[in-house]
Amino acid sequence: MQTVLLLVSSALSALAQPGWTAPSHPGTPGSQSGGPPPSSHPSWGPPPGEYGPPQTHNSSFTPDHVLRVTYANVSMGCESRASVLVNGSTPGPELRLEPGKTSWVRVYNDMTQYNTTIHWHGLSQRTAQFSDGTPSASQWPIPPIHFFDYEVHPELNDSGTYFYHSHVGFQAVSATGPLIIEDNGPPPYAYDEERIIQFTDYFNKTDTTIEKGSWLHHSLGLEKPTLC
C-alpha cells in the first residue's frame, strides 16, 4: 500500500517589492540576519510553555536545516525561464519538522539583486511571529547576500502536509517546496512509503514582467520562448 501526499501551491501576492532595500538592522528577535537585533529592542517575556528571550547566534551555531535562494535559468516544458530557486531547484527540497519541537531553518539569500523571505504556508506562527516570512509586516525581507534564521515551532496538533515559499514579489511561483510536519505518535494506518507530488503554476513571462502587469514586452515580441 502506498500513500501519496498531494501538495498544490499557487503564486501568492506579497507586501514588498523585490528591489526594496531593508534597513540597517535586518535582524529580528530570535533570529540573525547578517547581524544581531538592535540592542535597544525591549526584552520579550516567554509565552506560556514555549520560548525564552530572543537569541543571538554566533559562528558556533548550527541550524537544523539550510536553504539557499538563488536566481538562475530553468527549463520546463521545452522553455527556459529565469527563476528564483531554492537549493538550485524548483520545487525546492522537502523539509520535515517535528511537532512540539523548535527547528531553526537558515535561509541564505545568495541573489545579488533581489530581496527574499520564506513563509511557512498553513502554519500559524503564533509563538514566533517574527519568523512568518511576510516582508514589511512580520519581518524585514532578507537583503542580497544576507541570511535569516527562522524559528519554526509546529504545535503537537499541526501534523500534516504544507509548503513553504518566498513572499517577495512573484517569487512564490518557483521558490517553493514541500513542508511536512511529522506525525505526533504512530500513524493511524499502515503504509509502505510516502511520495510527494507538488503542483505549481508555470509562466513564460519573467517575475519582473508579471509584477509590472504589462504585456508590452509580449506585444513587441521582446520575450520569445526558447524551443527545444
pLDDT tens digits, one per residue of 85-99: 999 999 999 999 999
d(CA 88, CA 93): 9
Q: What does each C-alpha distance from 182 to 5, 101, 118, 160, 209 come to in angstroms?
A: 13, 11, 20, 7, 38
Asked if 199 and 7 touch (Cβ cutoff 8 Å), the reply is: yes
Any domain includes 196: yes
pLDDT confidence band for 54 (50 / 70 / 90): low
Instruction: Give the mean pLDDT of 102-116.
Output: 95
- Tens-place pLDDT, residues 121-164: 988 887 778 888 888 888 889 999 999 999 999 999 999 999 99
pLDDT at 108 over 90: yes
Any domain includes 114: yes
Domain harbouring 105, CATH code = 2.60.40.420
Any domain includes 40: no
Backbone torsions φ then ψ of 142, nearest 5 degrees: -80, 115
Any domain includes 146: yes
Half-sphere exposure of 39 (CA within 13 A, CB side): 0
Any domain includes 69: yes
| Number of domains making up the chain | 1
**pLDDT recorded at residue 16:** 41
Average pLDDT along the chain: 77
Q: Which of 221, 181, 134, 133 is nearest to 7 (CA)?
A: 181
Any domain includes 227: no
d(CA 116, CA 121): 15
**pLDDT recorded at residue 217:** 54
Any domain includes 225: no
Domain that holds residue 120: 3-20+56-220
